[in-house]
Structure 1
Amino acid sequence: MMKACAAIFLSLWAVTSSAGVLQSTAGPIQVTKMIDGLDTPWAVGILPNGDFVVTERDGELLYVKGGIARPISGVPKVAALGQGGLLDVTIARDFSRTREIFLTFARPQRSKAGTALAIARLSENGDHLTGVQVIFEALPGGSRGNHFGSRVVEALDGTLFVTVGDHGNKPAVQSKSNHLGTLVRINRDGTVPVDNPYVGNAGVRPEIWSYGHRNPQGAHIDQEGRLWVSEHGAKGGDEINLIRPGANYGWPVISYGTFYSGEKIGEGTSKPGMEQPAHYWDPSIAPSGLMVYSGELWPQWNGNLFVGSLKFGYIARISGAPLQEVEQIKGPATERVRDIVEAPDGSIWFISVGNGAVYRMTPSP
């Protein structure tokens, strides 16, 4: 973990530098290292002025300006165990006015931990959070320290979607009486939107938007307002899903993978009333961050999906109807890609857990 001390300001480890050129069907891509020396980075959020924030899973939130990082105080207490800790960060669309950001994290729950969402305001100098409020907490939590999700995305109408993993509790996922293996939708103040699909249904958590998910670690709203999610399967069966309200995505009843033991999962690959993935991988690539590109710097990629692979160390470009993986963007910088986002200027940023670094991609001159 990066320590909150004067050494951070003196080390200058975060100075930007060229990380080489990656080849792609759209031509050479210049890769610039924006910061390194990170300890298990999970997510990056780019601010309107070009500065950015990065989460580290052990609970550190960093503000990066001019190539130098410093810790941000006031972060909620996290349960840093297993796959849990401080996870996603998303910058509110109205940040220039409100200074608000959204954080997901594993929140301690006695002997367990559950996926939670907090909203907070970032100070003008970027060194602390104020007004921190936890506006959602998945119940029940889990004691195994795995499958938290967890991404937060802001819909075009201002509501928030949060992905929640199954915490390894497979039997609970097909029950809508809990939040495990769901996508939830809430208002920015934590209340439940009246048009959520299960509002008013007895015994159902009203925050649920869709269910039957295993461990969704990537999510993005496209230009048409549609929600896309990438999620981990077991041995094979990683998926990209186009989310519909009230839909059941099948876990653990249907899957294109098997358990790690080789044992069959559930009832096969399909069942009436359960959604088919828009795309799946077999073998698994361990997909994490997902982004739908605007086409700003690479017009030929407009509307394409980009997904990071933790297992094979590349960025998958997904396109077509039906969706297919049409390209792998790969090089030394793409070691275990955890997050991938588009900056306001159209550049593509990604996190490499393997390198402990954040990179920026632009067309090579």
Structure 2
Amino acid sequence: MLSLLLAAACAVITTTCGAQVPWRLETWATGLDAPWSLTFLPDGGALVTERPGSLRRIAADGSVGEPLAGVPAVYDAGQGGLFDVVLHPQFSDNALVYLSYAEGPPAANATAIARGRLTDDGLAGVEVIYRVSPRKDTPVHYGGRMAFLPDGTLLLTTGDGFDYREAAQDIESGLGKVLRITDSGEPAPGNPFAEAPDVWSYGHRNAQGLAVAPDGTVWLHEHGPRGGDEVNRLEAGSNYGWPAVTYGIDYSGAVISPHTALPGMVQPEYYWVPSIAPSGLAVYTGRMFPEWVGDLFVGALVDREVRRLDIEDGRVVGEEALFAERRVRMRDIRVGPDGALYLVTDAVPGEVIRVTRENPD
């Protein structure tokens, strides 16, 4: 009940950003426990994951329901827990919801995907359709972002497990990869590596941003170490370099690699030194902000704001810092069916903040 009252009494801050696009921030939903990701439902509501292991429904008016039944047990430790939530492309016909999450035990944990059918009470017929291999004994660097491609196949990002970074260059390891599978969890036809039939791209450190543009372009961002956070345009079969090339150094100050580029390894479209700790990624496709159509929005956990990357002719040509007024870490970013941006805050209690146009025409 408290979460309903707080959602109804939304705080509004009006600001005009440097590009003279007038916008305002308002709290759409609150009372969440470390929310991680959001997906919208056809009725105008949404599903939101909470990292400790709960899935909740948010009604169109912002009211937050009780945890839904049927969510698999998660490994809630370190960076582990319940991660992404996406709907099947034919959700209106099959009601299928996909969850990515960390599963234990601590000495042998991994990223997994489960799917179930959404009902009024929760998820029914839940089955684990994919588990990353090999398993690891570190509670960090899971990746965990998912996105459906236009052909109906599903992408999953995986982290390198931190202590296993060399695995990112091993095609036959599931760590440090972007995987492409069918909607039932099998390796997708047409993947580039015969010896690793579920691998789509490799050489990734810990990707926590994944978005597919209307033209099919796949954008990904990933955490570097100290410096070297990257934005990449994904292509099947490509090697994105980690840890053979990087623009960052180790947390101890040691050199990870003397190389920022090597033959056969794809350079990032954009990178940050020092790191911003990117999380959440959206390609803006709405009508509310025509000035932003096609641009990328990235949560910057370190600076507690959002970065807008101006995309022109498929290239990053500028960057703008936005929405720092709330002084909270932005874990996920989504474009709503109303054209607003929705920002998921990484806090307890966490919120979903709606960004709308100030004084729309």
TM surpasses 0.5: yes
State the Cα deviation string for residues 119-151 of structure 1 (Å, max 9, x = none).
Answer: 21110x2x3101212111111122110000110
For structure 1, list consecutive stretches of 5 or more residues without a partner in the other structure. 1-8
1:240-259 paired onto structure 2 within 5 Å: 240-259=231-250
Distance 1:22 1:93, change over 3 A: farther
CA contact (8 A) 1:295 1:303 kept: no
Instruction: Tell me the distance in 1 between the aligned counterparts of 2:110 and 2:92.
Output: 31
Match of 2:111 among 108, 112, 115: 115
Shift of 1:53: 1.3
The residue that corresponds to 2:339 in the other structure is 346
CA contact (8 A) 1:14 1:68 kept: no
1:12 matched to 2:11: no
Shift of 1:89: 0.8
Farther-moved stretch of structure 1 (326-335 vs 111-120): 326-335
1:41-190 paired onto structure 2 within 5 Å: 41-65=35-59, 66=61, 67-109=63-105, 111-123=107-119, 125=120, 127-168=121-162, 169-190=164-185
The residue that corresponds to 2:309 in the other structure is 318
State the Cα deviation string for residues 76-124 of structure 1 (Å, max 9, x = none).
Answer: 111111101001111233222221111100022562211111121110x
CA contact (8 A) 2:106 2:139 kept: no
CA contact (8 A) 1:64 1:70 kept: no
CA contact (8 A) 2:286 2:340 kept: no
Instruction: Tell me the distance in 2 between the aligned counterparts of 1:22 and 1:162.
Output: 36
Shift of 1:325: 4.2
Instruction: Tell me the distance in 2 between the aligned counterparts of 1:42 and 1:295.
Output: 22
CA contact (8 A) 1:241 1:278 kept: yes
Shift of 1:11: 5.7
CA contact (8 A) 1:63 1:69 kept: yes
Shift of 1:15: 2.1
SS at match of 2:147: strand
The residue that corresponds to 2:351 in the other structure is 357
CA contact (8 A) 1:83 1:145 kept: yes
Distance 1:50 1:33, change over 3 A: same
CA contact (8 A) 1:338 1:351 kept: yes
SS at match of 2:144: strand
Instruction: Tell me the distance in 2 between the aligned counterparts of 1:95 and 1:356.
Output: 27
The residue that corresponds to 1:29 in the other structure is 23
The residue that corresponds to 1:288 in the other structure is 279
CA contact (8 A) 2:342 2:353 kept: yes
CA contact (8 A) 1:38 1:56 kept: yes
Instruction: Tell me the distance in 2 between the aligned counterparts of 1:313 and 1:229.
Output: 20
CA contact (8 A) 1:22 1:331 kept: no
Partner amino acid for 1:152? M
Distance 1:10 1:282, change over 3 A: closer
The residue that corresponds to 2:253 in the other structure is 262
Instruction: Tell me the distance in 1 between the aligned counterparts of 2:260 and 2:307.
Output: 23
CA contact (8 A) 2:286 2:338 kept: no
Shift of 1:297: 1.2
SS at match of 2:247: coil
RMSD after superposition: 1.6
State the Cα deviation string for residues 158-178 of structure 1 (Å, max 9, x = none).
Answer: 100000000111122111111
CA contact (8 A) 1:219 1:230 kept: yes
Partner amino acid for 2:149? A
Q: TM-score, normalised by structure 2?
A: 0.93
Farther-moved stretch of structure 1 (32-41 vs 179-188): 32-41
The residue that corresponds to 2:324 in the other structure is 331
The residue that corresponds to 1:193 in the other structure is 188
Shift of 1:14: 4.7
Q: TM-score, normalised by structure 1?
A: 0.92
The residue that corresponds to 2:200 in the other structure is 209
State the Cα deviation string for residues 233-254 of structure 1 (Å, max 9, x = none).
Answer: 0000000000010111100110
The count of residues paired between Structure 1 and Structure 2 equals: 351
State the Cα deviation string for residues 2-31 of structure 1 (Å, max 9, x = none).
Answer: xxxxxxx46635524133223222422122
Shift of 1:39: 1.8
Distance 1:138 1:236, change over 3 A: same
SS at match of 1:156: coil
CA contact (8 A) 1:62 1:70 kept: yes
Farther-moved stretch of structure 1 (307-316 vs 91-100): 91-100
Shift of 1:330: 2.4
Instruction: Tell me the distance in 2 between the aligned counterparts of 1:323 and 1:349.
Output: 22
Distance 1:242 1:105, change over 3 A: same
SS at match of 2:145: strand
For structure 2, list consecutive stretches of 5 or more residues without a partner in the other structure. none
Percent identity of paired positions between Structure 1 and Structure 2: 39
CA contact (8 A) 1:26 1:298 kept: no
